[in-house]
Chains A and B, each alone.
Chain A
């Protein structure tokens, strides 16, 4: 999976002078979920800051985070990992049946005060692959690495537990509540996918060090607040399904070269910032560059991609922009104008004859009942 230097160079050129945006498990899982969008695939592979370019071409996306949520999340996590991770240990002694001796705790937020990702990753690697002995059970914020679309993505799971038998468990701490034993299924699903990303990355690390990747359990632990207070509760997630899906999607994403080949070498999304960081690139020019790369807009993008508003405008007139089910209900017709002409009785192409008949009928019925002409 090694990326040829020409590809790296091209991706760097695409991105311009900016620092590559770091992936995290959330962005990887979102990226893997819609690999059908070449624009997004290219931008993410190059590590482009989509928020900034979206804003610069006049389509800022409202993807902010409330500080209250961040603070609460941090406080909940701190409560679990304070004092030798006392509260966490209590939960894990129950759900993982930890032995009394399994209490080792090491913090990987920094290495000797240095927060460099490479350094933290090296320390993590040493610690996890046994080149750095000491009684260890809990690793707090270790740094993993995953090759995604030709680049290294640094990933930071909340914790990893290493058992006496050599098995590893990924532990994720979330702040959405579990009420009466039930949590928001969408949030649990997202947590499961993220955990799977960590499992995948950890397996890679173990394998690279010559170990047995199956030592990384597909059983991950999710910790969340119970009911309406901050008392934590632990649950175990089986992420085998997510691992399978992720594997397939990551494999698909490695073919970035094929994608790059379709575009001129000179293509770049560089913002050309001045000394103060203000972009100097002409917005129209940037918009043109972006438009050169095909997008695959669907309403799902609104929740996951910072370019969504720009692509939405571009997709105006397509039935897909109205939703997948709308396009399906229109028999797969791609453009609203097309659908409407057929509904008005315009002669259909041969392969659309059946749909045309139905559209015509539908329009007639609506006219009959509402007196409106499409």
Chain B
């Protein structure tokens, strides 16, 4: 008994009003129930419309890379050589490997990788894993790393986010120089880096009006290295100490995916070294 399209639309409108009226006073249970009904009505509407429309051959949307997500993430991280957030990973992949992916898929990847490791440790040549906070050796929010990297690279001290940003800039600059005609997305990425490193912009303060073409990889590299020199000693020290602690205190899975329950806060003395 197919209802007319108009009747279905009226029903949908009524249900939308009903859902909103349940939401207003905060009646979550009622709102949920009505949302379910609304979804059913919307599906019926879609089906009714689809039935009247000529059969559509769905265009095969080019999904880009045929590689599984984990390998695409691996490609991007291997270029960067530093732990990175899903957004940067996706942008790097788009710039240098021709395709991108929604960041939501990347965030669930870490969870899948951990499950895979725990069920069959070291079965795969590499795992997309977490970066660990130096303080508590817990997984650092939002960052991904590669399991084959040394522990020192996979721990994050307070200076590490900036250090890794500068390192990433250098790596992106290097990558661009290797390509004869870098795509616009790559140049735009370099421009984003350059805008946040002193001395990396072509003319100081004029970045807003400079097109991506005017950003030079060698200038960016030089500027990044200059600032890196300020932080790297302290950062390296912190990371070395944290890595040693991680190797000592954590099991294999936790070294890759972070300590989960409880924590032992690190006490630093005045010199900035950890008192064990």
Contact = CB atoms under 8 A, between A and B. Distances in A.
A106 B136 CA distance: 12
Contact of B270 (A82, A87, A133): A133
Interface stretch (A109-117, A167-175, A335-343): A109-117
Place the interface of chain B in its size category.
35 or more
A214 interface: no
Interface string A229-247: 0010000000000000000
Interface in B138-171: 138-141, 157-165, 168
A135 B272 contact: yes
Contacts of A278: 29
Interface stretch (B55-63, B119-127, B261-269): B261-269
Contacts of A55: 24-27
B136 A89 contact: no
Contacts of B215: none
Interface in A46-76: 51-52, 55, 60, 62, 64
B210 interface: no
Contacts of A101: 230-231
B195 A90 contact: yes
Interface in B1-49: 23-29
Contacts of B184: none
Interface string B109-145: 0000000000000000000000001111111110000
Place the interface of chain A in its size category.
35 or more
A51 B26 contact: yes
B234 A135 contact: yes
Interface in A293-333: none
Nearest to A56: B25
B87 A84 contact: no
Contacts of A282: none
Given A86-B196, A113-B260, A135 B138 contact: no
Nearest to A107: B141
B85 A82 contact: yes
Contacts of B230: 100-101
A106 B165 CA distance: 15
B267 A132 contact: yes
Contacts of A260: none
A87 B165 CA distance: 11
Given A103-B231, A112-B259, A276-B29, A93 B198 contact: yes
Interface of A: 51-52, 55, 60, 62, 64, 78, 82-87, 89-90, 93, 100-101, 103-107, 109-114, 123, 126, 132-136, 231, 276-278
Q: Which 6 A-B pairs have the closest CB atoms?
A: A84-B161, A55-B25, A112-B263, A60-B25, A133-B268, A112-B138
